[in-house]
Structure 1
């Protein structure tokens, strides 16, 4: 499926057509045939659906979710962990890494989109096409994600686990042309991406958490 036609959940609000078009200009083409992705555990501002800064910590529930994700991922043949250096993703990655006996590699380019002046305000009706003062445009964000994810998925030894954010997952799906639904966007929901020929698909390793957690990272 072309990334220009990838359907997204309704909670993604507006701007998804633009996200798909930007991703389709230069799709992601990793050499690997499978990898893993984990959105960070829940934070207090996730629960409130508020745009977050990089130093936002995990909530008590988020810490529990990270432990549960680690238990699931401990049964997978993960060779390397690459994560965002934002606190919520960094801490989630280290919880998982301890269970796998690995050391995560943290990178600023894997952070969530910088929403600038919108940080601290409601993300309930997010407009992906917005151009927030002091933040990134959608085009800048997609370009950053394209480069950051290409580098992350080239890490060795494979397969790689990428620990990052909900916005990263939206961009990743668009860049790979993967059809998604709301079930994959829960906090700390481990995902396996697999390729058959040129076509990528995503499979949750378990059902999403009962709390939902589909709000933007």
Structure 2
């Protein structure tokens, strides 16, 4: 993943996320897996921090269906997803096509931004410590445990989650964070050669957006 500028506003604190993750790297035994961020929601489009019950928009439903058709050609055996509605519904769209049953995990939810939920995420500061929410260190530690458990399932595994999960995942396996891969419902294939990971986008939606969560 190559570095890319944040396209909307100024995302800060990513260097801190990378430093925290470097101290607790993830080393899954599998040699490849898949990742899918959820489809778009209304609050994605408005760039607002959202709650766990935020539904997919009509566009998000279309994106999930397109992602499902593309992933239908991949040898996925297990789907693990965030239990947030937007991720869970995206996972079900894919699972229906693959004839699998997704396993929801609360630990794969987006970072809890506490009192910031419902406010603008246009200039997110990852290093913030929101009232009633998670610190960055707490978030990274939770994601490491959740991803480690997910990727220990029968392979190949598809993880369906959030933009923040992708930030943490990339940092935990030693990849620079490519913000250009954060579009809604863009399937990604992660593969390992020795200790080195690489990521390949299986689809880039023209209507994708790198807004958070």
User: Which structure 1 residue ranges, 4+ long, deviate > 6 Å from structure 2?
Assistant: none
Q: Does 1:170 align with 2:154?
A: no
Q: Decide which of 184, 187, 211 is 1:187's aligned counterpart.
A: 184
> TM-score under structure 2 normalisation?
0.96
Aligned residue for 2:207? 211
SS in 2 for 1:62: helix
Residue 52 of structure 2 aligns to a residue whose secondary structure is: coil
Query: How far 1:181 sits from its partner (Å)?
Result: 2.1
Residue 73 of structure 2 corresponds to 75
Q: 3-state DSSP class of the match of 1:189?
A: coil
Who is 1:112 aligned against? 110
Q: Which residue in 1 is equivalent to 2:149?
A: 151
Partner of 1:28: 26
Matches within 5 A, 1:3-152: 7=3, 9-11=5-7, 13-152=11-150
- Measured against aligned partners, the alpha-carbon deviations of 1:65-115 in whole angstroms (never above 9, x if no partner) come to 000000000000001000000000000000000000000000000000000
Q: How many Å apart are 1:64 and its aligned residue?
A: 0.3
Moved more, 184-193 or 174-183: 174-183
Distance 2:36 2:5 in 1: 18
Aligned residues: 211
CA distance in 2 between counterparts of 1:214 and 1:51 reads: 13
Query: Structure 2: which 5+ residue stretches go unaligned?
Result: none
Verify the 8 A CA contact 1:27 1:176 in the aligned structure 2. Answer: yes
Tell whether the 8 Å contact from 1:142 to 1:171 is kept in structure 2 after alignment.
Answer: yes
Deviation at 1:182, TM superposition (A): 2.7
Separation (CA, whole Å) in 1 of partners of 2:126 and 2:83: 22
Instruction: State TM-score, norm by structure 1.
Output: 0.94
| Cα distance per residue 1:163-185 (max 9 Å; x no partner) | 00000000000001113423211
- Residue ranges of structure 1 left out of the alignment (5+ in a row): none
